Amino acid sequence: MSKLKFLSALIIFGMVAACSSSKDPLVTADTLNKIENLANERNFVVEFNTAYPQNTAASQQVLNSFLIQNGNSAGRIDIAGDGAKLTVDGETSTADLPFFGERRVGGSYGGTENVGIEFYQATMKDYKVLRQGEKVTVTYGVSNSENDYFDVRMDIYSKYNVRALIISTKKTNMQYDGSFRAVLDTASDEN
């Protein structure tokens, strides 16, 4: 009798596990289709909440001395609520992202160059969308008014999470985490 109860429990557990797992692939596929369509339409916004600088030991010491008080570290900085976002709209891309790292080339005197990773309605080059397994990858290149060229790579997952890597010609690389959404109201995105 105890074997019968054990077997029936296994059967019930197997049915519950099969039912719950059968829904996930469908939701994932549908969501990835939506993400892929928006990426191909070039009509989306990514709002970032975390920055991951790729720094040298010297810059990590400096950053840790300033950031340790608020719970951040040189390897992970909370930027939620700072308005850090990247927009792809048609043939152009706009980004206003904080930068925590080192410059590779000297800056100008008088502070006229951007401190962050910034470009405004810059024409994208080599825009590509690739779906691989459980993510959609968007890659493109863009330059800003200061002749800094950025290679942008964003991996977008089925829960609308984004991991972005931005490689600059003048600054150390930056990685960001955020969330993906469609451009719904371009007037509200400019604020």
Q: Which domains does the chain have, with CATH numbers?
A: 2-189 (2.40.128.410)
Dump pLDDT digits (tens) for 25-82.
556 788 999 999 999 999 999 999 999 888 666 666 665 565 555 666 667 788 888 8
- Per DSSP, 7 falls in state H
Measured at the alpha carbon of residue 114, what is the angle toward residues 153 and 86, in degrees to the nearest 5?
A: 35
* The pLDDT value given to residue 130: 97
Q: What span, in angstroms and rounded, lies between the C-alpha atoms of 70 and 130?
A: 38
Dump pLDDT digits (tens) for 82-131.
899 999 999 999 999 998 877 776 555 555 556 789 999 999 999 999 99
Candidates 108, 102, 174; CA nearest to 147 is: 108
Angstrom CA distances, 96 to 23, 79, 185, stand at 38, 12, 18
* The pLDDT value given to residue 25: 59
* The pLDDT value given to residue 10: 41
Q: What span, in angstroms and rounded, lies between the C-alpha atoms of 78 and 189?
A: 21
**Across 134-159, average pLDDT:** 94
* Range of lowest pLDDT (41-45, 76-80, 159-163, 169-173): 76-80
